[in-house]
């Protein structure tokens, strides 16, 4: 009682409402009571005005930061930005665009989207939205996106400049739901061998995957390369549904278990459409979470082979807790385990997020990413696959069956600096903008482009000249010679992307991929 009397005396300056709340509090050492009193004390007694909303948010973040690295709090704005790609759609005018010298250039209108329906085409420059100029005014890309997006059914009045037409064009675009695709590419790598690259696991991933498989079946696919490199994960159910396509009835896909969450198993139901063809899964150090679930299930069930580097190691299950103002807490409630019993989560120290975030850099410095001989596992981390009883390893992440070292020599310092200053992207946009019609006339389809097109020297000169203008210069002639082969391939892939789409981009860029070469070797 003495402690309570002293505390109440200190709080004498509180408002009547706050004082009443304190008087109604119980006098035991309830942690929640302490937190509410502290918040009221700061709000009512602190020497300066405080933002109560931020005060509460900081308190929530402070609690979560002392837990694991993946429990987090997001504001309403952050929550919307985070969930939009996973929900599979947003509302807007439906264009892919990029900025060149403060001007928005349409790369492609979304097929059957609102902009395409009214006649907007690739190469158009949108200079005004609803009487507000967005060209030449130093407006951020985020601010432009905010103006282009809006509730379904609302109208965006656009002013457009089109090459070859003197006057500005006016379009009224009725905003609609625009799909966000989680599958980046679908194409035939070689006769009989299909390729699908998945960027994340969203609410629409499974249906997208089925559609991609149909396309590949129609082209004679019987084996598949599933590319999960740089896939940061997403929804558990999407991963389980996709893994189900490869496994037999009763095969365990993944199980979760936590202090207050009893073991829950996800098993294949035997309805999967690709239970016979061979599968190679490509992974790297950025493959995480839901992507690791699919990889672990295919490896542990001896359904396919895994090629690449040890995956990220995110095996913590988060439950989203929606707050009244649209913000969200994502709280870790369980661990993921592969069918053989491996915990996917890599080790961490509670509250030490900085060390956790340095893990990839530590792998690089230790040589793990560049040499298979640098990867070591204790005997206690050995597990066996469920059908062929091959040795696999726990300890965090999924270790591939075939290791592909990270090629640290592919990008020269000169190439990295050109990319870092967006010179490659900007000059590519300029080149395609100037030559789009001529390229489309010359190459009737992508296959003709892929086999015949070569990046002209004038294009290379554009990039190097702009680099020099921005202070990016090669050290010597040898560095230029080392840079050019991959730079040419990258530029060709970017041209393909802007003339067609991402499948064509990966069709070009993957020809230099060591992981793809190994997958083809295993399948052929």
pLDDT 10s digits, 386-427: 999 999 999 889 999 999 999 988 889 999 999 988 899 889
> What Rg, from alpha-carbon coordinates, does the chain have?
27
For the four alpha carbons of 202, 204, 205 and 206, in that order, the dihedral sign comes to: positive
Is position 184 annotated as part of the catalytic site? no
Average pLDDT over residues 85-103: 81
**How high is the pLDDT of residue 139?**
81
- Which residue's entry shows tokens 């109440």? 8
The catalytically annotated residue of 115, 182, 289, 507 is: 289
Asked if the model's pLDDT at residue 510 lies above 70, the reply is yes
**How high is the pLDDT of residue 23?**
55
Angstrom distances, CA of residue 217 to CA of 282, 337, 389: 20, 32, 31
The catalytically annotated residue of 124, 212, 251, 314 is: 314
Each residue's pLDDT tens digit, 17-48 = 445 544 555 555 788 888 888 888 988 998 99
User: Are 153 and 175 a contacting pair, CB within 8 Å?
Assistant: yes
Is position 289 annotated as part of the catalytic site? yes
Prediction pTM value = 0.86
Report which of residues 313 and 422 the model is more confident about: 313
Tell me the three state secondary structure of residue 330. Answer: strand
Tell me the three state secondary structure of residue 391. Answer: strand
Each residue's pLDDT tens digit, 35-81 = 888 888 988 998 999 888 888 899 899 999 999 999 999 999 888 88
Is position 314 annotated as part of the catalytic site? yes
Asked if the model's pLDDT at residue 315 lies above 80, the reply is yes
Report which of residues 287 and 408 the model is more confident about: 287
Round to whole Å and give the CA distance between 494 and 439: 13
Each residue's pLDDT tens digit, 369-394 = 998 888 778 778 899 999 999 999 99
Each residue's pLDDT tens digit, 438-490 = 999 999 899 999 999 999 999 999 999 999 999 999 999 999 999 999 999 99
**How high is the pLDDT of residue 134?**
87
User: Are 197 and 516 a contacting pair, CB within 8 Å?
Assistant: no
**Local confidence band at 163 (pLDDT 50, 70, 90 cut-offs):** confident
- Within 10 Å of residue 83's Cβ, how many Cβ atoms? 14
Angstrom distances, CA of residue 18 to CA of 2, 21, 23, 475: 20, 5, 9, 68
The catalytically annotated residue of 184, 241, 300, 359 is: 300
Average pLDDT, the chain: 90
């Amino acid at each position: 009682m003495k402690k309570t009397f002293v505390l109440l005396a200190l709080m004498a300056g509180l408002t009547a409402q706050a004082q009443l709340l304190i008087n109604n509090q119980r006098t035991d050492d309830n942690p929640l009571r302490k937190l509410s009193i502290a918040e009221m004390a700061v709000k009512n007694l602190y020497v300066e005005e405080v933002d109560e909303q931020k005060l509460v948010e900081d308190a929530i973040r402070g609690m979560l930061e002392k837990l694991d690295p993946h429990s987090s709090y997001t504001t309403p704005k952050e929550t919307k930005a985070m969930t939009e790609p996973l929900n599979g759609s947003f509302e807007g005018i439906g264009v892919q665009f990029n900025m060149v010298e403060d001007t928005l250039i349409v790369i492609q209108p979304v097929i059957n989207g609102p902009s395409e329906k009214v006649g907007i085409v690739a190469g158009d420059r949108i200079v005004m939205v609803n009487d507000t100029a967005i060209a030449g005014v130093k407006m951020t890309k985020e601010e432009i996106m905010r103006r282009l997006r809006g509730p379904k059914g609302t109208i965006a009045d656009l002013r457009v400049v089109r090459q070859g037409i003197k006057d500005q064009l006016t379009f009224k675009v009725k905003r609609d739901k625009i799909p966000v695709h989680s599958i980046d590419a679908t194409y035939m790598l070689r006769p009989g061998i299909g390729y699908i690259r998945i960027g994340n696991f969203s609410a629409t991933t499974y249906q997208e995957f089925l559609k991609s498989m149909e396309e590949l079946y129609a082209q004679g696919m019987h084996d598949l390369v599933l590319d999960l490199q740089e896939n940061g994960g997403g929804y558990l159910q999407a991963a389980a549904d996709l893994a189900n396509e490869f496994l037999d009835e009763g095969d365990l896909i993944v199980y979760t278990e936590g202090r207050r969450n009893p073991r829950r198993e996800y098993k294949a139901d035997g309805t999967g459409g690709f239970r016979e063809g061979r599968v190679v899964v490509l992974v790297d150090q950025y493959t995480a979470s839901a992507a690791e679930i699919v990889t672990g299930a295919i490896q542990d069930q001896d359904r396919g082979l895994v090629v690449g580097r040890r995956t990220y190691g995110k095996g913590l299950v988060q439950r989203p807790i929606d707050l009244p103002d649209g913000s969200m807490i994502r709280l870790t409630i369980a661990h993921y385990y592969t069918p053989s019993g491996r915990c996917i989560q890599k080790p961490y120290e509670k509250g030490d997020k900085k060390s956790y975030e340095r893990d990839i850099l530590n792998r690089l410095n230790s040589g793990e990413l560049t040499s298979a001989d640098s990867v070591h596992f204790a005997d206690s981390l050995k597990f066996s696959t469920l059908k062929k009883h091959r040795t696999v390893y726990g300890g965090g992440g999924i270790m591939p069956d075939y290791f592909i070292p990270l090629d640290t020599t592919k990008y020269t310092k000169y190439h990295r600096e050109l990319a870092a200053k967006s010179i490659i992207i900007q000059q590519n946009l300029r080149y395609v903008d100037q030559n789009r019609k001529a390229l489309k006339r010359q190459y009737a389809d992508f296959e003709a482009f892929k086999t015949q097109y070569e990046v002209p020297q004038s294009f290379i000169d554009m990039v190097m000249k702009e680099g020099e203008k921005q202070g990016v210069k090669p050290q010597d002639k040898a560095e230029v010679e080392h840079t050019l082969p991959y730079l040419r391939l990258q530029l060709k892939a970017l041209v393909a992307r802007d003339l067609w789409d991402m499948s064509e981009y990966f069709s070009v860029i993957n020809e230099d991929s060591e992981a793809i070469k190994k997958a083809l070797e295993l399948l052929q």
